[in-house]
Chains A and B, each alone.
Chain A
């Protein structure tokens, strides 16, 4: 017999500190469905954090552009004639029409389809039809450019933007501890990373945080949610793959971290199966790592998956795995638009590229056997969180509570935890709570 807890259902009656208690391993279901909380998230989370925009290989020439979202705000990223990358709101300063309706392309300017105001690709308003007569020449074009995102920074080819003028630099937001691991993905490719095709997009009727917290280090679910992948031999024994998870400042989390040597051994084993080109490739990548990163990083060799707070997840196992990015774009509290970008080593042999690319489609993508099953969980969790009785039952994030800091691996930075723990979820909600309870300034 289930008893109804003391938790008040009415959000107005409950402060966020009462709904979200990371240190007790409890988060109210309300924060996954409530409209007001969602609006606050858009304001206090998505305008205060560094959000992924694209990769430099997508904007290689002056005039190249792509579109993306920051929270629910549509943006355009361009490379200007001066070579600089700018990010601006994709909404006309006149009456809000989108000035760009495509995924990507090349253009020196954007002309609004509504009344024809025209903006250069650096966002300046350069043309207003009949400005001299209809505005009597009094329109101050200099004040009517596309709204620029004030901070745009790049880390090793990955472009991020932030609406908060006073934000700490991107590299500090990502943090040296997290980058110690992520650098393996950026430094290993022989010819640098490149985006290997269009962005894959699909919807999940679920709250965005469920996907983000999952990638932040919910390795526990892999055993059962992805049981079918083990059943058909798509993956070896999961305990053979990794040993730890880790979390970092600013809510970031990472899973499937392996002890030194393990990932390299797994790659060598895989290469035997893939053939001589693959064997050569593993050796070349490993040597390159030895030359470019610390001995311990090189020994670590491969990664797992993670979430860069708030909504950029990634996956990257050994050298035969693409670097896959997942943007969990929020579309209301109950819906995610997933944008998936895949990158791989420009310098890999064709046979390795072919393997990595197809494997990613089969694994963690819209029709991939992992992707499908994850979405099923997130949807039904969100659906159940709408009930008033279910809202009295907090989600349970208690795994490993009281045992944090007990795991140690010499030289591994960040807050390391055992392979199966909810410490990273708690870290995610701790930072989320910090942002959500910090009132923003006027934008």
Chain B
């Protein structure tokens, strides 16, 4: 690996860690600012199938989340409004990001893959881990990095609870 790629990965890790911290600290307005205006945020449903009958996630099938920037902003507005009972009071979360791989793409884009574990502690005794992987396309222009596409793959077939947090 060239040292420039190592440097690049370090920068990407820094970006991802800062993003995770924003979410853990519920700095949602800042988090929204990390996405392009035409972002595609996609979290398909995981299936269990026979070895030779595996299917890839199919765009156009219904998903856990399939959002644009407008609806992500609506979700943030909802959280800020005080009537979102699933996050009132807020869950405590802790995000762990690892196994970061960076592949430079055309036009200065970066394809960034990582694994994550998110711990959620809700109210007094609702606790769960969400585990999965992410694949982002990050567009870069100089110092400014924005996420233009994010695919979140949760490894759970049965989610431990409804999703009120972000990945």
Contacts and interface: CB of A to CB of B under 8 A. Distances in A.
Interface of A: 101-107, 196-205, 225, 227-229, 231-232, 234, 322, 337, 342, 353-354, 357-358, 360-362, 365-367, 369, 371-373, 375-377, 379-380
Contact of A202 (B47, B50, B67, B160): B160
B163 A106 contact: no
B66 A377 contact: no
A337 B158 contact: yes
B7 interface: no
B85 A107 contact: no
B61 A202 contact: no
Given A203-B161, A204-B162, A357-B62, A228 B84 contact: yes
Given A107-B50, A201-B157, A367-B43, A373 B84 contact: yes
B159 A366 contact: yes
Closest 7 CB pairs of A and B: A197-B61, A372-B86, A202-B159, A367-B163, A197-B62, A228-B83, A227-B83
Nearest to B51: A102
B87, B157, B159 interface centre (most CB from chain A within 10 Å): B159
Contacts of B78: 228-229, 231-232, 369
Contacts of B86: 372-373, 375-376
B141 interface: no
B158 A201 contact: yes
Given A372-B87, A375-B162, 17 more contacts: A197-B45, A198-B45, A199-B45, A200-B62, A202-B158, A202-B162, A202-B163, A204-B161, A232-B78, A357-B60, A357-B62, A361-B64, A361-B66, A367-B65, A372-B162, A373-B84, A373-B85
B77 interface: yes
Given A197-B61, A342-B62, A365-B64, A105 B163 contact: no
B129 to A, nearest CB: 13
B58 to A, nearest CB: 7
Contacts of B83: 227-228, 231
Contacts of B27: none
Contacts of B142: none
Contact of B163 (A205, A322, A342, A372): A372
B63 A366 contact: no
A379 B126 contact: yes
Given A225-B85, A366-B163, A361 B75 contact: no
A353 B58 CA distance: 14
B64 A200 contact: yes
B140 interface: no
B98 interface: no
A232 B159 CA distance: 27
A78 to B, nearest CB: 14
Interface in B70-126: 71, 74-75, 77-78, 81, 83-87, 123, 126
Interface of B: 43, 45-50, 53, 58, 60-67, 71, 74-75, 77-78, 81, 83-87, 123, 126, 157-164
B100 to A, nearest CB: 25
A203 B61 contact: no
Given A107-B50, A198-B47, A360-B62, A369 B161 contact: no
A322 B45 CA distance: 17
A101 B48 contact: yes
Contact of A366 (B50, B61, B87, B162): B162
A367 B120 CA distance: 15
Nearest to A377: B85
Contacts of B50: 102, 105, 107
A106 B58 CA distance: 18
Given A201-B158, A361-B63, A103 B47 contact: yes
Contacts of A204: 161-162
A362 B73 CA distance: 12
Contacts of A365: 62, 64
Contacts of B74: 232, 234
Given A204-B162, A366-B162, A361 B48 contact: no
Nearest to B45: A198
A367 B64 contact: yes
12 contacts: A105-B53, A107-B50, A204-B162, A225-B85, A232-B74, A357-B62, A361-B62, A366-B64, A372-B85, A372-B87, A373-B85, A375-B86
B75 to A, nearest CB: 7
Contacts of A205: 126, 161
Given A201-B158, A228-B83, A373-B85, A357 B66 contact: yes
Given A202-B161, A367-B43, A375-B161, A361 B65 contact: yes
